[in-house]
Amino acid sequence: MAAKMLLLALLAMVSSVAMASDPSPLQDFCVADKDSKVLVNGFVCKDPKVVKAEDFFFTGLDKAGDTGKKVGSNVTAVNVNKLAGLNTLGISMVRIDYAPRGLNAPHTHPRATEILTVIEGQLFVGFVTSNTDNGNRLFTKMLKKGDVFVFPQGLIHFQFNPGYTNTVAIGALSSQNPGTITIADAVFGSKPPISDEVLAKAFQVDKKTVDWLQAQF
């Protein structure tokens, strides 16, 4: 009996790992049918007979994004919501523009690993490991043009342009819809807001500080 329970547990673990990423395609392609009312994990397939080359095409990554925001960066995402042909293919990409001293603030992609390369300029990048008995370890690296860095799935990471010229980077992600959780926005800008008592306790600061931070979002 114990052996059977162990076998079932191992099978459950293998199954959970196998299902932990985007589902593999069972046909050549499954172009997203954005007009379908059927709700599935992803998108329903468009009839292959009406699929066109445009379903696999996106234009515009040659254009710089507006970096006039407070943090000084802009992300142009090409995911299944922009490119229907990505449905079930388990991949997407981004162009990120950084103003001088611009930041892509600490964030996570709950459904994807990201690999990033610098096209122009320089970046200081890093990610933080999940909770361990030894705390949360920080890995950082200074990148120049042509350098590549990978951010493991689900881990908090960031990119900062320390220079005085614009920087451009291209990233690829292992999901058609990676999702993004920007830490500061989620913690201090949620709707409705998280209780200031909860956040004051978590960050070991007074409620006035929390209220001020929430007001910024």
Residues in binding site: 104, 107, 109, 114, 157
Known binding positions for oxalate: 104, 109, 114
Contact 191/180 with Cβ under 8 angstroms? no
Binding site members for Mn(2+): 107, 109, 114, 157
β-bridge mates for residue 94, sequence order: 77, 171
The answer to whether 87 and 79 are in contact (CB under 8 A) is no
- 43 with 59: CB under 8 angstroms? no
Please give the Cα distance from 193 to 39 (Å, whole number).
Answer: 29
Q: At 213, is the secondary structure helix, strand, or coil?
A: helix
Spatial contact of 88 and 22, defined as CB atoms under 8 Å apart = yes
Q: What are phi and psi of 48, to 5 degrees?
A: -55, -25
Short-list 214, 215, 177, CA closest to 77: 177
Distances from the Cα of 6 to the Cα of 13, 18, 175, angstroms:
11, 18, 32
Residue 136 token pair: 């949360």
